[in-house]
Structure 1
């Protein structure tokens, strides 16, 4: 199959070709592998599984499966393949095999997907850029000098470059929506408990992190949510299934929605005029579609939410680092300096302080629920600026040295209380101050690729819904996709 034909279809379209006997899964795989070779400099894929994928593509297929024979990539974080390393972007885990498949991987295989690789991610998904020392930076197909965002940056680069039409992703603070916005893709973060994180964990980051995908088409994401949602016997909880499958929900319009929008950074950091323009453009389009759209105040205390998000994240890094050291004998030098600092701060955080932080998560939820009593959706930029150059958001070497010394002599807790440290940490969220709200509150949210800058860079806008709002978000996304099809933009060229 020629790439020009392959890239015209989304994943459901390719599966339909397989179902009708117009193309064989091995042909699709060969095309995907060739495209992966042609775009290798993007560094989207960190592990290739060509031979096992070829065997899978040649095996008999259940053509009734929704994604029968479609090539697919999983993220190298929380999407384990039994017997293969799941590095999580870390040098400490590059040789540690996973004991079993993740629940989402099993479901993807049952849905007929042909997995042929794992995608790049920052160490333990802890950054909004994908530039791990373990694998090197993933590059944005629209401008390889710029970041893909993170932490699902490798998956977003692979989809944006046309290697696959949809790829595995997950989101603990914006990690689906950030790279989707940076790479011109659709990205939905499902609500807490909708998709299992098992079987090796009950939940990640106290339920703030969820599994999902990045895709070109809304219907692919909807069908993927149908595949992934639903209980597992080992899950700590689950959301009830929708009355109508998500893919079928797309056949119904969302109705006239009340949408409040704001563009000011919740943490007081600068917002690029292009990010503001992206929201203004979306507001006009939504109004033209018949929705009630009006400016509103930011529906949460941004600085407090950022501090509560980061403190929980630091404690999670401490848990991860200590677990890997105890279990696999890793040394401190096997982890990146930023990870070591986050873990050191987390290790010095008292249980009382962490519980106080987690209790405030509900306060943020109350604020958002009060907002949703007035509006169906909150609209904001997904990113506060277009994708910046690779390396521009990395920690300054001087700060890295100071933090390393502080961690070694036991002063990380003191360092974390200084105004300079707090300002540095908050400024690191300055590019992505809007996305953490949906994670802490457990609400669904999406980034929609409606806007491009005058330089042609993608810049998505974010919508946050209330409890069980996935179907509403998907219906609106389908309406926006029909009104302004984003696949009209040409795919980035290969190397």
Structure 2
């Protein structure tokens, strides 16, 4: 019997996506407070199973909903913010026990752009320590679980956000992506997740100071139109003049595209059979729709890129672990960091002398990535090299060497877009033998999110996503008997 955990039912939220819910609020068929109350009720029902919420701010959300002006965008739509950006009055824990977080004095840079869309924040969603892992699991405390089957990972680092959206608690939630952290949880939880072009959205202050700006903010959603509308709304608050505007993408495009298929990882490791079959099926669908589809003979990156990214990944951990008392909190205690953070720090120490060459090659990745699209409009690949692992497979309690090798073989596709700054989207497409979603990954040239969204609409219309609530079992947020 299914163990799916969801809350879809006959309340103010129903099964509406954020776009539909915002329209109901705008036309006063429901109130923002009714929507928020329904989301709070749903959160309280699933949280004992999913453990996706770090900070609850329900009473403030109710007050904010009651005062929300009815307007455009996502006014009145309930949401959660990932617990690594500041929201005034709430602690920012970064998924770690290495310090005691205190309430933030002001909203973060991107938080202002997000909240300007009129969403009502209910609290903070879970992430692994500093977002370094690909599963939302911890040295101490319970993991965040996948609503499709709680024995499995919800992905990371935006795993809490994905679990809340997939289970129906909210229709969209904030996430950010420094190596796949929007696209990975989207893939394993059956959601839409777009990592935009570098500079498309406002960046948090820490990312602005990094030698290579890997992290992009965004959302996880259940529909392509919610993702498209989020970016259109965001452009009303801030538009980067160096990038072509996305605009409001409303439907599939008519242009037939040149699509290159990358079935195996950038380091040459084969994807598992179920993942590869999902990409093959997506390629066949696109070919049948009139697109020119061909398998890539040369991948856009290779073994050297994987090594360089691992060193830079370690540099980020080294920065946190060694400057935590200055950059994070005065009571920061590096002895309380988990095995992955410590291991990444040590990996960087051992490769510190390589830093100049690593930074040079990673910075060069943007131009090399762009040249790849001289011959293709879109690249289709898996999101991950194998299907969703069970809880514990990526636990930070295991040795660093063991975990690092597992991550290297699992997260093999997404980091290239972070290093290069190119946009990519994860879409639900397949189903594993265990009944869990399998995503496909579409990449485009810098600034070409519109093409990705048009193609995503086309795929969504041709093969509507599997629904987590399309099962006969009860939908009360509890595990089936």
Partner residue of 2:42 out of 30, 35, 43: 35
Alignment-derived partner of residue 418 in structure 1: none
In the superposition, relative to structure 1, how do residues 122 and 254 fare at CA in structure 2: closer, same or farther (>3 Å)?
Answer: farther
Would you say 1:337 and 2:316 are equivalent positions? no
Which residues of 2 match residues 199-218 of structure 1 at below 5 A? 199=205, 201-202=207-208, 206-218=212-224
> d(CA) in 2 for partners of 1:174 and 1:428?
12
Alignment-derived partner of residue 17 in structure 2: 10
Partner residue of 2:165 out of 135, 159, 166: 159
> d(CA) in 2 for partners of 1:10 and 1:117?
19
> Root-mean-square deviation (CA), in Å?
2.3
Q: Could you tell me the TM-score, scaled by structure 1's length? A: 0.88
> d(CA) in 2 for partners of 1:290 and 1:302?
30
Structure 1: which 5+ residue stretches go unaligned?
A: 401-420
1:127–1:151 CA contact under 8 A, matched in 2 = yes
Would you say 1:137 and 2:143 are equivalent positions? yes
Q: Which string of whole-angstrom CA distances, capped at 9 and with x for unpartnered residues, describes residues 221-242 of structure 1?
A: 111112334887xxxx945354
Cα drift, residue 38 of structure 1: 1.2
In the superposition, relative to structure 1, how do residues 277 and 4 fare at CA in structure 2: closer, same or farther (>3 Å)?
Answer: farther
Alignment-derived partner of residue 225 in structure 2: 219
Number of equivalences: 464
> d(CA) in 1 for partners of 2:230 and 2:168?
18
Cα drift, residue 440 of structure 1: 0.7
| Of 370-379 and 94-103, the range deviating more from structure 2 | 94-103
Would you say 1:95 and 2:97 are equivalent positions? no
> d(CA) in 1 for partners of 2:396 and 2:27?
52
Alignment-derived partner of residue 463 in structure 1: 442
Q: Which string of whole-angstrom CA distances, capped at 9 and with x for unpartnered residues, describes residues 109-145 of structure 1?
A: 2211110011110100001111023542110000100
1:160–1:491 CA contact under 8 A, matched in 2 = no
**What secondary structure does 1:220 align onto?**
helix
> d(CA) in 2 for partners of 1:470 and 1:203?
25
> d(CA) in 1 for partners of 2:128 and 2:241?
29
**What secondary structure does 1:300 align onto?**
coil
Cα drift, residue 441 of structure 1: 0.5
2:100–2:331 CA contact under 8 A, matched in 1 = no
In the superposition, relative to structure 1, how do residues 487 and 294 fare at CA in structure 2: closer, same or farther (>3 Å)?
Answer: same
> d(CA) in 2 for partners of 1:115 and 1:260?
39
> d(CA) in 1 for partners of 2:159 and 2:396?
18
Cα drift, residue 262 of structure 1: 1.9
1:82–1:100 CA contact under 8 A, matched in 2 = yes
> d(CA) in 2 for partners of 1:302 and 1:380?
15
Alignment-derived partner of residue 388 in structure 2: 387
Structure 2: which 5+ residue stretches go unaligned?
A: 1-6
Higher relative contact order (CA 8 A, sep 6+): 2
> d(CA) in 1 for partners of 2:93 and 2:345?
18
Would you say 1:47 and 2:48 are equivalent positions? no
Partner residue of 2:87 out of 81, 85, 93: 81
> d(CA) in 2 for partners of 1:12 and 1:479?
18
Partner residue of 1:179 out of 174, 181, 185: 185
In the superposition, relative to structure 1, how do residues 2 and 27 fare at CA in structure 2: closer, same or farther (>3 Å)?
Answer: farther
> d(CA) in 1 for partners of 2:186 and 2:267?
22
